[in-house]
A = this chain, B = another copy of it.
């Protein structure tokens, strides 16, 4: 089975055989995490970064009174905390949403790559930049989109990312989270999230049921979300 990180990178640029093997060689071990288990905890000092090989995870922050905000969702091929390579200390937690198979990249190995493979380094840097780009889109949504638009936008984003990773089934895709978590991502209460899902269903745009999203009307959903995939930077070019 192909390393999904390789595919993730090759979607954006070409990798040489040596670069591919350098990446493969940087994995120290592979571990499984149970649903709801933390891959990394907030505030922790870490010396490795985690790549998801299988499963879903999210990054989140918790405020004083326990209110939680999910800042990103991650799927196979995503380097959930590559930024810890240079930041050293986590400024948020990472939790498994489902059972996850995760590859560990010791920072020491990443450092070696950064010394020896400038192009590969740029590509890893790129991954963190795409992350940041998605963050900006998220911010824009939280600040200026309606709750409904935000939900639609999230569905559009997840559909596209999963599709590119070959994890969709027609217009249906897995999204294994609870409505509570969905609310935590959108900055909404569970109750309101539930009502919004009902509305999307009634508008025949999308249905969310038993951990799957089925898009009924892609164009309509995109329009409601004002979805423009540019921010995902899915094109390949020399970097």
Across the interface, do A118 and B114 meet the contact criterion of CB distance under 8 Å? yes
Give the contacting residue for A71; candidates B59, B63, B91, B140; CB below 8 A.
B140
Q: Is A92 an interface residue (CB 8 A)?
A: yes
Quick check: A63 and B145 within 8 Å, CB to CB? yes
- As for how many copies of this chain the complex holds, the number is 2
Closest chain-B Cβ to A118's Cβ sits at a distance in Å of 5
**Chain B positions within 8 Å of A61 at CB level:** 136-137, 140
Given A69-B139, A132-B132, A143-B187: 10 more A-B contacts, CB < 8 Å: A61-B136, A63-B145, A86-B239, A91-B133, A91-B136, A121-B125, A128-B129, A132-B135, A138-B139, A139-B142
Chain B residues near A128: list those with CB within 8 A: 125, 128-129, 132
A130: chain B residues at CB < 8 Å are 87
Residue A11, interface by CB 8 Å = no
Q: Is A230 an interface residue (CB 8 A)?
A: yes
Binary interface profile of A, 60-93, with partner B (CB < 8 Å = 1, else 0)? Answer: 0101100111010000000000010011110110
- The answer to whether A32 has its CB under 8 Å from any CB of chain B is no
For A122, the chain B residues whose CB sits under 8 A away are: 86, 114
Query: With a CB–CB cut-off of 8 A, which chain B residues contact A132?
Result: 83, 128, 131-132, 135
Interface membership of chain A positions 224-239, coded 1 if the CB is closer than 8 angstroms to chain B and 0 otherwise: 0010001101000101
Q: Tell me if B140 and A69 are in contact (CB < 8 A).
A: yes
CA distance in complex: A129, B90 (Å): 12
For A64, list chain B residues within 8 Å (CB): 226
A42 and chain B: residue at smallest CB distance? B230
Q: How far is the CA of A56 from the CA of B91 in the complex (A)?
A: 26
CB distance from A77 to the nearest CB of B (A): 18
Residue of B nearest to A230 (CB): B91
| 5 closest Cβ pairs, A-B complex | A143-B187, A142-B142, A135-B135, A132-B132, A69-B140
Pick the contact of A115: B67, B86, B92, B118 (CB < 8 A): B118
Q: Which of B67, B86, B89, B137 contacts A126, CB < 8 Å? A: B86
A-B contact pairs, 28 of them (CB 8 A): A61-B136, A63-B144, A68-B144, A69-B144, A71-B136, A86-B122, A86-B125, A87-B129, A87-B130, A87-B133, A88-B239, A91-B133, A91-B136, A91-B137, A91-B233, A92-B136, A114-B122, A118-B118, A125-B128, A128-B128, A128-B132, A131-B132, A132-B135, A135-B136, A138-B139, A139-B139, A143-B187, A144-B187
